[in-house]
Amino acid sequence: MPALAYMSGNWASPLPGVSVDQPARRSFGIHTIDFDNRSVAVIQPDLSQKPFCALTRFQKQGDAGSKARLLVIPPLSGHFGFLFRDLVLEMLSDSDVIVADWINPRYVPAAAGRFRLDDNIAYVVDMIRELGGGMHVLGMCQGAIPALAAAAILAKADDAAAPRSLVLFAAPIDPTANPTRVVRLVRERSLDWFERHVFTTVYGDYPGAGRRVYPAQFQFSALMAYLMRHLAQRGELLDKILKDDGADPVQFPFLNAYASVMDLPSEWFLDNVRHVFHERAVARNRFRWRGRPVDFSAIRKTALMTVEGELDDVAAPGQTSAAHALCPHIPDEKRDRYVLPGSGHFSTFHGHLWRDRVAPRLRAFIARADA
């Protein structure tokens, strides 16, 4: 990647109307919500901020308290948390929604140090503790790994902040349970190959100048190749483009959210490839955090739900539900395994399948956990 192309921070998109700007964070654009046949203002204060993440809360103005509090952990997958706007908007109707809004690392000063998978988990542990007991935690896609690990760490410590429920969406808990093209590509390449071929250094006037990252341009190229394959094979993304079923497809088209990408810390990227995909440390129950074993079987009181898409070609059915076997002491009545019929990866959290089928089931699961 030529340095000048990366120094600019923005690059030309081949898709008309699609922004490839590189902000530190991207606004969710949620200012009002229709509630009880009226428009209600939504406030979004940041509860706290660390170098790599802001903990931001969405709440209906004047709402004295909601039945449930949801902490959403988006993945560090190259997308901004904005990709999950549909999920936040839907759950906001009857819940407070708090989101771990990851910050584009090109804006994180190099003096803040590196950000590894261990740090990712530590951030989630701290967030849950900060928010207090009774939280429901949603680990989205790759974000399910730190969410699951944090729940186990808190359970092992018998911490009162341990989440009331844990919901994992379309995640590679065991990527080899039903390997997809994505899984095979990652597992075929060595860590040294990734080190030599996919990282670059932040240049220019960005606060993170000098930081090694997996650049947004590479992720954008991979997403365009994935999109072209779906268009050729008449996959899920073709439907999303021909008939955008998002909550507000005019102002917030799915394709714009899909193509809105940011950098990833190189050390986090390598940790994720090594521990999750190559060594399968989570799936084999040999995962370690800060040198200590993570005991997933310590999760006993937290209810567990997994959501998978029947046609998901990123994290196919079986990859996420593998979490249930790792947590044998959760009672059966506190579990739910849901495979969404006719859904690819993105429809589990975006569009009418998410709103009509997943959200009601998720609400029912949370209500049972609260009861």
Does pLDDT of 4 surpass 60? no
The stretch 132-151 carries a mean pLDDT of 97
Neighbours of 332 (CB within 10 A): 6
Instruction: Give the strand pairing for 136-140 and 68-73.
Output: parallel
Structure tokens at 283: 């799936």
Does pLDDT of 6 surpass 90? no
In a domain, 4, yes or no: no
Q: What is the pLDDT of residues 183-212, one digit of tens each?
A: 999 999 999 999 999 999 998 889 999 999
The stretch 166-178 carries a mean pLDDT of 98
Q: What is the pLDDT of residues 74-118, one digit of tens each?
A: 999 999 999 999 999 999 988 999 999 999 999 999 999 999 999
Length of the chain measured in residues: 371
Q: Given this model, what pLDDT does residue 2 score?
A: 30
At residue 363 the predicted structure's pLDDT band, cuts being 50, 70 and 90, is: very high
More confident: 313 or 371? 313
Q: Is 294 helix (H, G, I), strand (E, B) or coil?
A: coil
In a domain, 245, yes or no: yes
CATH number of the domain encompassing residue 140 = 3.40.50.1820
Contacts of 357 (CB under 8 A, 6+ apart): 340
In a domain, 38, yes or no: yes
Q: Which range is least confidently modeled, 65-69, 256-260, 290-294, 325-329?
A: 65-69
Q: How far apart are CA 89 and CA 84, in angstroms?
A: 9
CA atoms within 13 A on the CB side of 253: 15
Whether the model clears a pTM of 0.75, i.e. scores above it, the answer is yes
Contacts of 249 (CB under 8 A, 6+ apart): none
Q: How far apart are CA 13 and CA 83, in angstroms?
A: 18
Q: Given this model, what pLDDT does residue 36 score?
A: 81
Instruction: Give the strand pairing for 303-309 and 53-60.
Output: unpaired
Structure tokens at 169: 């969406």
In a domain, 314, yes or no: yes
Q: How far apart are CA 13 and CA 259, in angstroms?
A: 9
Do 159 and 129 meet the contact criterion of CB atoms below 8 Å apart? yes
Containing H/E element for 229?
helix 216-233
Does pLDDT of 17 surpass 70? no
Does pLDDT of 18 surpass 70? no
Structure tokens at 354: 């998410």
In a domain, 20, yes or no: no
Please count the structural domains in the chain.
Answer: 1
Angle at 256 between CA 349 and CA 360, to 5 degrees: 15
Q: Given this model, what pLDDT does residue 7 score?
A: 35
User: Domain residues for 246?
Assistant: 27-370
What residues are paired with 55 via a beta bridge? 48, 100
Q: What is the pLDDT of residues 24-73, one digit of tens each?
A: 999 999 999 988 888 999 999 999 999 999 999 998 887 766 578 999 99
In a domain, 306, yes or no: yes
In a domain, 16, yes or no: no
The terminus-to-terminus CA distance of the chain in angstroms comes to: 54
In a domain, 201, yes or no: yes
Q: Given this model, what pLDDT does residue 22 score?
A: 81
